[in-house]
Amino acid sequence: MVTSEETTGRSIAVLGAVLALCLAVAVAATAPAPPARELAKAEPALPPVATASETDALLDDTSLIQESAGELEGHALDCVIEPDRVIELGSPVPGVIDSLHVSRGESVEEGQVVAELESLVEWAQVAVAKARAATTSEVRSRAAQLSLEERQNERSVQMFEGRAISIDAKDQAETDVQLAELELELARDRHTIAKLELDRAYADAHRRRVTSPIAGIVVEQMKFEGERVSDTPIVKIVRLDPLRVRVVAPSHLYGTLRPGDEAVVQAEAPLRRKLRATIDIVDPMIDATSDTFNVELTLPNPDHEIPSGLHCRAQFQNPRDLARR
């Protein structure tokens, strides 16, 4: 049990502690403040806060650096190596294939006969037209008739001057000469037409010979001997020299790639070679959907060492686009 003396002693101790605290606060309030220089040395300086305009400028500089680096890397664009030309060769006239002179994988030259259709009737017509064109008997006959009429007309004139015949007989002789001249001219026209018919017969017969319009390689055969063709192709031929490199370029490069510029084409497997190509065509239109435009390059392939159908990367080494920035 706590006595009254103990309670009184505790109260006195608490009162003494409160008085000591008040005295310490009063002394601190009356003490002089330290100089500002000492405060500046004591506390580290904070970096200045950037303004909004300074922050935007820093962001713009960063984006320009990233854009330039991306554009340099963007010059290596995806591409595809394709044949220069692909044709599906058919016949200009319907018929039955009589003979095929090529097969898949063979090389053909420009103008080479690839296939022939049955043409017995056409060549028979050629023989008839040739014989008709070689016949000149009608022309010779009309020429002889004209010569006779001219001599008779001369005699008629002399007889008319001697009053041996009437004027009607003289007019008849002159008219006979004119008719003979027209008959000779008509015979000559017929002979000319016969020659033209011979040319047409030859053309009809040669149309049944299918020739290749390009030099290339047969990659597919659709028809065989004995089959009928009308509007269907017989063979597919590709030209591999030169090759075409097709590139889809982003629109921001438009105007920087021009015909005649060179590019290094990195072919993928199985070739894996660096090749040099030249820009041939730059499409004058940008696709609004993809924001791109097409570029075609010419890639020489004289020995047919480069196969078509390879994916590649085209590296354009023209600095004009960077100069435009």
Query: Is the Cβ–Cβ distance between 293 and 283 less than 8 Å?
Result: yes
Burial 9-32 (b: 16+ CB within 10 A, else e): eeeeeeeeeeeeeeeeeeeeeeee
Q: What percent of the chain lies above the pLDDT cut of 90?
A: 62
User: What pLDDT score does 38 carry?
Assistant: 45
Whether 66 shows a pLDDT value over 50: the answer reads no
Banded pLDDT at 303 (limits 50, 70, 90): confident
What is the value of pTM for the model shown? 0.61
Of the given ranges (54-63, 128-137, 249-258, 314-323), which has the lowest mean pLDDT?
54-63
- Which string of DSSP letters, residue by residue, matches 4-71? HHHHHHHHHHHHHHHHHHHHHHHHHHHSPPPPHHHHHHHSPPPPPPPPHHHHHHHHHHHHHHHHHHHH
Residue of 266, 257, 273, 275 whose CA lies nearest to 317 = 257
Whether 294 shows a pLDDT value over 70: the answer reads yes
- How much is the average pLDDT of 246-265? 91
User: What pLDDT score does 179 carry?
Assistant: 95
Query: In the beta sheet, which residues pair with residue 83?
Result: 243
User: What pLDDT score does 24 carry?
Assistant: 58
Banded pLDDT at 43 (limits 50, 70, 90): very low
3-state SS, residue 269:
coil
User: What pLDDT score does 107 carry?
Assistant: 93
Say which residue the tokens 């000559």 belong to: 188
User: What pLDDT score does 271 carry?
Assistant: 79
User: What pLDDT score does 119 carry?
Assistant: 93
User: What pLDDT score does 12 carry?
Assistant: 59
Question: If you average pLDDT over every residue of the chain, what do you get?
Answer: 81
What is the enclosing helix (H) or strand (E) of 276?
strand 274-282
- How much is the average pLDDT of 185-206? 95
**Residue of 54 and 249 predicted with greater confidence:** 249
- Which string of DSSP letters, residue by residue, matches 196-221? HHHHHHHHHHHTTEEE-SS-EEEEEE
Residue of 118, 106, 119 whose CA lies nearest to 227 = 118
3-state SS, residue 77:
strand
d(CA 59, CA 88): 57
d(CA 257, CA 240): 25
Whether 23 shows a pLDDT value over 70: the answer reads no
pLDDT digits (tens, 9 = 90+) for 202-235: 999 999 999 999 999 999 999 999 999 988 999 9
d(CA 240, CA 302): 8
